[in-house]
Structure 1
Amino acid sequence: MTHRFDIPLASLEGAHKRYGRTLALDGVDLELHGGQVLALLGANGAGKTSAISLLLGLVAPDAGEVRLSGRAPGTLAARRGVGVMLQSGALPPTLKVRELLDLTRSYYPDPRSVAECAAIAGLAGLLGRRYDALSGGQQRRVQFALAICGRPTLLFLDEPTTGLDIEARQGLWHGVRDLVAEGASVLLTTHYLEEAEALADRVVVLAGGRVVAEGSLEAVRARVDQRRIRCVTTLDVEAVARWPGVRSARRDGVRLDVVAGIAEDVVRRLLAADAALSDLDVSRAGLAEAFLEITREAPLTEAA
C-alpha cells in the first residue's frame, strides 16, 4: 500500500471544547493523512468522542481550528467522501437490512452494491431481517455497512466493534484492511488496544482532554521501557509486586505475569527465589501496558 502523508484529510489545531464545567478538549492537535489508519485512544471521558464530533461538524470548538477534507466541517462539500459509524445512531427500527442499505445507497452517485456491502460487513443471511430484530452486534455490522456503502475515502469509526464477538470483530478488521488497501483513510476510536495494534499506523493517546502521546505504535510503546515476564511459579504475587523494578504483578492460574522496567534483575531474582520455576518467557510490553503507564502519569484536567 502506498502512503500519501501530505495535506491532512482531517485536523484539529489547538481545539478546545467545554460542556458546562467539564473541559472535554484542552488544546488538542491532531492530523489524519491520506493512506493512514489513526487510532485515537483514551479512557472514558478522555475526549475521543468530542474530537470526532468536532471533526464531523456536529459541535463547534470554543477555540482552535477544525478542518475536514481541507474545508470547514459540517458543509456538504466537506462531508462528500466521508463515512461515519458512531457509537450510537438512530435508524428506522422497522426497516429491513436490505431496505436500510438501499435507502443509504440512494444518497451517493456511485455506491457499492448491496451484495458488496453485505460481504464486507458480514451480513450474510441478515438482509431480510428487520433492524430491531437484530442483536446489538448484528446492528453494529449493519451500521458499518451503511458507513462504507458510499465508497468513502475518509472513514470515521467510533468504537466500531463494541458488542461484537471475537469472530465478528476480526471480520470487521478484515473489512477495514480491505478498505485501506483500496485507498481509504480511517480515524478509529477504540477501547480495545489489540484493535489498535491490529489496524493502526499511528496512535494518539488522550487523557483529560489533552494529547499525552502520539506517533507510531512502536514509538508509543517506547515511551515506557517495559518488559513482560511470564512464568509458572508458586511465588507470592503480592511479594513479587513489591520487588524493586517491578511495576505490576498478577496471577493467572499457575502463571505469574510481571511487568518490569529492567527484566534482567527481576528474572535473576525469580530464578533465585524459586528453583522449580518453569516456562519462563520475556517479551517487550505491548500497547496495553504503554497506554496504562502513559495515562497513569498524565495530569487530570480540572473543571473551572
Structure 2
Amino acid sequence: MVALLGPNGAGKSTLLDMLLGLRDPSSGTVRAFGMPPTARRARARMGAMLQETTGPPGLTVAETVRLTQHLYPRTTPIGELLALVELTEKADRRVGELSGGERQRLSLALALAGAPELLVLDEPTAALDVAGRRRLLQAIRELAVQDRSIVLATHDLREAQEVADRVVVLHHGRKIADASTQEIVRRVGVSKVHLTTDASVVWIANFPGVTEVSVLRDRRIELLSADPEGLLGALFAAGHQVRDLTVTDADLESAFLTLTQEDAA
C-alpha cells in the first residue's frame, strides 16, 4: 500500500492519470508492468477508482458490476465484490437511487471487477461522512493484505498513516520524500509541542527550529520544533512562564508540513 501525498496542485492526480494511460507525459516515459499504460495487457491488470466515477443511473448495482466485468479477461466473483463493499443488500437497487457513500463503495467494486494486480485509488473517501469513511477504509485494509499493490492518493494524512506501508510526497510536481511512514517522521526530526506561555506567538514562531505555530481554542500554543529543548531553555532564560507542557514525537501530518515548507524555502 503506497500513499501518494501532496498539497493541492502537487501533481498527484496528474501522475495517476499518466499511470492509467488517461494523459500523455510531456516528457519522459511511463510504464506499467513494463509496458505503456495504454497497452491492453497493462490495462487488463489495473483497476482505478477516480474522484469522479459513477455508473449508468438506470442500471442496478449488480447489472453495473456485471457490465464492467465483461471488459476484463478475468474477474472477481460478483458476490465477493458486493460483500466486500457492503452492497449485497443493494444489488437490485438502481445506481441513480444510491446515496453518496453507496456510490463511492460501488466505485470501489467497479475498480475491483477485473481482479486487478494494481489498484489505483484517487481520494477514495472524499466527501464521505465519518461512518462511510470508516467502512470504505476497512474495505481497503482488507484489500491491502491480498496479493495486489495499491496506490492511494489522499489529502487525509491520518488516512495515509492508518493504511500505508510506504509514503511518497510530491511537491510542485517533484518527489521530495519516499519511505515508510516511520522513516519519514524520523528523518524530519521534529517534535510536536503544546504549551501555555506569556511569551508572544511571534517570538516563538521566529525561534530557530520552529516550523509551524498555531493558537488553539483554549489559548494553548501548538508548534513543531526541531529543537524543543532549546526553545524551552530560551523561554525559561527570558523569564517567561510555561504551563500545560507536553512534548511528543511528530506524526505524519507534522512531518508533511515540515517537508513541504522546507521544499518551498
Normalised by the length of structure 2, the TM-score is 0.87
- The yes-or-no answer on 1:163 pairing with 2:130 is no
CA drift of 1:227 comes to 0.3
CA drift of 1:123 comes to 2.5
Name the structure 2 match of 1:293. Answer: 258
CA drift of 1:268 comes to 4.5
- RMSD after superposition: 2.5
Distance of 2:233 and 2:102 partners within structure 1: 50
Percentage identity across paired residues of the two chains? 38
What pairs up with 1:50-89 in 2 under 5 angstroms?
50-89=14-53
Distance of 2:140 and 2:170 partners within structure 1: 23
Residue 188 of structure 2 aligns to a residue in which SS? coil
Distance of 2:201 and 2:131 partners within structure 1: 33
Number of aligned residues: 262
Distance 1:111 1:291, change over 3 A: same
Name the structure 2 match of 1:128. Answer: 92
Distance of 1:75 and 1:66 partners within structure 2: 12
2:240 to 235, 256, 273: 273
Name the structure 1 match of 2:144. Answer: 180
Distance of 1:190 and 1:170 partners within structure 2: 15
Contact 1:56 1:74 (C-alpha < 8 Å) held by counterparts: yes
Higher helix share: 2
Distance 1:233 1:79, change over 3 A: same
Name the structure 2 match of 1:116. Answer: 80
The one-letter amino acid paired with 1:283 is: T
Normalised by the length of structure 1, the TM-score is 0.77
Residue 151 of structure 2 aligns to a residue in which SS? strand
Distance of 2:176 and 2:199 partners within structure 1: 36
Name the structure 2 match of 1:141. Answer: 105
1:91 to 55, 60, 66: 55
Contact 1:202 1:214 (C-alpha < 8 Å) held by counterparts: yes
Distance of 2:109 and 2:250 partners within structure 1: 35
Name the structure 2 match of 1:284. Answer: 249
Higher strand share: 1
Contact 1:137 1:162 (C-alpha < 8 Å) held by counterparts: no
CA drift of 1:274 comes to 3.0
